[in-house]
Structure 1
Amino acid sequence: MSYQVIATADGAANCEPIRLQKHGREGSLRVTDRARAILDNFWSEQGRRDSARPYEAYALEALDLNQTVIGRASAGGSITLEGLGRRSRLSALGESGRTQQQDRLWDAIFEQARDGTTLPLAKQLIAASKHDDLSAEALIEGMLAERWGSVPAGVSVKLQAARAFGRLAKEVLGRFNRAYGYVHERGWTADASDVALEAFPSGEMQSLRLLCADMLSVADIARFRRLQFHGPEFVTLIGKLAAASDPSRALDHLLAYHRAVQRTRRGGGAWLRDQQGKLLLQIVDYGGYRHETVFPDLKFGVVRRLLSDLGRIA
């Protein structure tokens, strides 16, 4: 159980102090020195006389690979699997007033982060939380305007990339939703040329091209090209949309990208199929087109929840 929480923290900030490392024989692991205090105080602060030991014993029993069944309660019945889950989640630290463990995790995840972005962004989020409950786009705009204090140049570059990506992602998803919705509302089939005009009206092509150009101009565009999942295809789509002037060609580019993404999703097929000049729905239960397209959260909500669990924001 404790390994699950440690791995979550490590993944959130790519933080070396709490990484599990291979050591000795094949398949064995050891904990880095900086993580020792976090693990030693996982259930409660050392020296406290409470019910921590039974939880530790039950967790280790559940992690035993020789076990084929995990009981819902310990042998004596005093510890349950549900109770174990409640006690091992991060929010339990604040609920039980465990400020020392919160401080250890704050230090490991944020203060000791190996990159130059994690800590400055966390401090910006903490400062922003004292004023408003803001959307991701508003947070990015406020940080770039240094509303909550100065922002290092390297962080500003990443925020500019996040803003450009978020705006373009919202726009592209909105165009796809228009196309899907148009076909769905017309009995699951429609002329491809009509769909193209609905999704890419001529009067809106210039604004789309500007968003694409903005994304292609960010300093981090090379990193997008190297992303393992859909990165190269996404940047290729942006380039094609930036040069597109014809609605039908723009729709072709968007649906080609959609098909490429779907092929990587466990053999999933395209939701819209072109057949002799008509578009036919392959998947008919997507309801996202009925809702307003919004700027993506970009994990700001996840980080704010983490900061809340560590007692840094209310």
Structure 2
Amino acid sequence: MEQKNESSFTGFILLGFSDRLQLEPVLFVVLLIFYIFTLLGNTTIIALSYLDPRLHTPMYFFLSNLSFLDMCYTTSIVPQLLVNLSGADKSISFGGCVVQMYISLALGCTECILLGVMALDRYAAVCRPLHYTAIMHPRLCALMASASWITGFANSLLQTVLVFLLPRCGRNKLAHFFCEIPPFLKLACVDTTMNVYATFFASVIILLTPVALIVFSYGQIVRAVLRIKSTAGQRKAFGTCGSHLTVVSLFFGTAFYVYYQPSSNNSQDQDKFMSLFYTVIIPMTNPPHIYAEEQGCEGSNEEGALEGL
């Protein structure tokens, strides 16, 4: 009964780490711990941002959005992965695969855009401290956050539809631990050049635009921080902002690696472990790092504003 009737089964087999069975029990325990900490950490940030009136600021509004997004993002992937790693059925239904690809891609795209928006918010906070509340008023914050979510889900809808329209000629074994576009394209039995181009151009917009905003914003922030006369203030600002840049670099770096590297069978294992980085590990480390950065940057903002007076 464990084997499915090939003629009636219309779903997919997530091979995941089946070629490394000795790793599956270890990965199960590690990922379960990471998932629990992700939920606890992000829930804590959301609760603090909501309950503490002092945190009702644009910075923590965006941070709450990011925390909620990270919880949803990991939840769209990790529970199914844990079931597969437990040695149970490694299959996923056709509808389940569609939903998983759509939701995970939408949330991943939204996070990319939201990180760019948060960089602009930091630029306004550090470089325009006296006009910060006028620039980042609640209506603009809500508009930018809504635009991030809408753009992410709209792009995901287009990409998911294009991928699932491809004929697969009965192929249903996905060499990955969740339904993601790059490995899914390898199941197609037709030329996927147009899909590759569509994914490439969409990723250029979704990945490169936020990266450009982050580079610009932090370039201006560095200039502002260097004008602070206090060495302690400079060290505090660079230390806190640097921790966030590390997380952002890991997120975008692994995403670039998976979506831009040439297709190769030898890179399948690397792709899986890279995907673990931006789907499981980074969502757990995002809130603490960014929360620490907000505290430090707020301190440097006050110092920078005093220096400018």
Q: TM-score, normalised by structure 2?
A: 0.24
Q: TM-score, normalised by structure 1?
A: 0.24
Which one has a larger percent helix, Structure 1 or Structure 2? 2
Larger of the two Rg values belongs to structure: 1
